[in-house]
Structure 1
Amino acid sequence: MNSKSLLTLAIALLMFPQIAQTLYSPALADIGQAFAVTPERAAQMLSVYFLAFAFGVITWGRLCDRIGRRPSMLCGLATYAGASLWALSADAFSTLLAAQALAAFGAAVGSVVTQTVLRDRFRGAELAQVFSMMGIALAASPAIGLFSGASLVQGFGYQGVVGALLLLSIGLLMWCWRTLPETRPQNVKTPALFETFGRMLCDLQIWRSALLVASFNIALFSYYSLGPFLFERLGLSAQAFGYSGVVLALGSGLGAWLNKRLLQKGLGSSRLIQLASLLGLMGGVGVWLLQDSGLFVLAMLWVVLAFGMAIPNILGAALVNYTDRLGTAGAVFGLFYYCVMGAGLMLAAWGQALGETLMVCGVVALVLAGMSRRK
């Protein structure tokens, strides 16, 4: 499989978890009505998703070092398809929540195994450029997820979203079955999980990177978690929320494109992360000031632009000291930041305060980015 074909498949696989997350977002209000649960409880769907996703990351990341990248990917996608079938038959919110957790566990394969495949094939500056290109493509994910989710909910309710995700997972499973190569190096020994876990647990740079990833993701996904109810409070439709994803995708794409251009001009990753953190904080303040008006979406543009700039730089450099155990190290790293993301989104769902959540994320990211600059 040539590099161009591999990158095309990698883009689709990396987009899958994001699309799966954002497709559910417009369905939260419908889920709340269908199962007679409060907005706070319905919003827990995304926090449960990320917590289960974290355990999926450690499982699939570990397996891709033990049994290979290809079989791990196939098993994960099959798990997602099975969970979607279960969700279609759910007759209670607790059942839907359990199916969502199993689906998230399966979807994690699209993140950790795909990143491992890319790290197998690329190194250093080339890897950073690849992640930047991935970032530009991933900018379309929220737009696809929110717009498609809103349309599906309008036509078929939340079950339309579940059915679309079932078909998508089956399509990806067939694509990987036919074309995904095995990229695990022949001479790599499977490292001890607990030895790797202990080493990374004591690695301050790993924790800095994990908390940075979590901060930017909590800022982004708190919008998808709280946005439907904020739009409802302002008297705006679910369709309008779907259209907002198109606007935000433009901001995220601009951030990823700007990041790629600045990298090519020689600007360092740490400086770009610091700039993105400042932009994210500014966006959070703007959302807080405009939260009683639909204009708050314009302030969210700064938040998603910051996300598009920061994430490729953080991910590209996070595991430079763990190249002998990329699958296992990627799994542990993902476990760290997805657990933080799940806890953060659970607090955000409980607080129902989007502006304040964004400002906290911006301050945390700015402090962590400043720690790097002082080194």
Structure 2
Amino acid sequence: MTRPVNPAVPPPADLPVDPPVNPAVTPSVAPLVAFAMQPPLLPELFPLDLRRRLSLVGRVRERVIDVFDGPLDAEILITGWGCPRIDADVLATAPRLRAVVHAAGSVKGHLTAAVFDRGIAVSSAAQANAVPVAEFTLAMLVLAAKQAFARARAYSAGGWSGDALPGVATPGERGGLRGATVGVIGASRVGRLVIGGLRSHGARVLLSDPYVPAEEAARLGARAVPLDELCRSAELVTVHAPELPETRGLLDGRRLALLRDGAVVVNTARGALIDTDALVRQCSGGRISAVLDVTDPEPLPPGHPLLGLPNVLVTPHISGARGRELRRLGEFAVGEVERLARGRPLRGAIRVADLNRIA
């Protein structure tokens, strides 16, 4: 995914070319580090103090790469949103490249199998990016449990908090997360953080994930159930599975029809995991509600039914790291470069076998 950046923010000009390295790390072993991303992102992800940290363990190239148009002599490439795709042709110009550290979430959009075939180490800051997504999700679940979005619209039209919402189903137990049954689809990095947050709110958590056995789910604080049972039982359903061929349309018309009257679906994962047309049909009648930070297509065209329904909130893919949150991704990436320079294992290592079941 390409993240839009503020065009008014110029590329940084305060980083010297090949700054001096830590005297304890001689130039002969200090790795050459380069950045590949949208240039205006660099000061957001890597403020000057973080770039100085990098200079203590490596020689940092000043120029941010946004097009691979020549030889690449870097040993470690730090990538971000907008990084050009790294394929066999690019690798042919980068004989010294030994690691790619992604200061964002998914690596699937910019790395090909050729990177793994050559034995290049790959790391992602997905765990760091999972934190703001989980925080956003929990906030939406708290508000959705109180029907805050539909009630706010009703209020603006002359309604009041104690009034029933015309055309929107409201089970009698609605009133907050404590004691509510929440279904989590996918024990991803975000999903696991959300489960922990739900438990702290006193919710009962159901988990559907084919890779997580019942014992592991219990350790996380959830009860493992098949997806159909989760849909039948949960008052709120939150989606955290990766987009794979087998997960596209995971919540289709049949499964959405299994949801209880008044159920709320929250999606901060990928829009394609929910059948959009089926969701429109279910929400249009007011039987269920939805909070969508991702949609299929994305963005939705003007006038799309989901944008006008009183029981649906659509936000423009804002749950991931933004603004001050971006520094967390930079800190994670710098830590990974420090581990590489010192021969330590990567915290965010991605293996080729992981690609079939991660976002």
Normalising by the smaller structure, the TM-score range is under 0.3
Scaled by the length of structure 2, the TM-score of the pair is 0.26
Larger radius of gyration: 2
Larger helix share, 1 or 2: 1
Structure whose residues are more often strand by fraction: 2
Higher relative contact order (CA 8 A, sep 6+): 1
* TM superposition score normalised by structure 1: 0.25
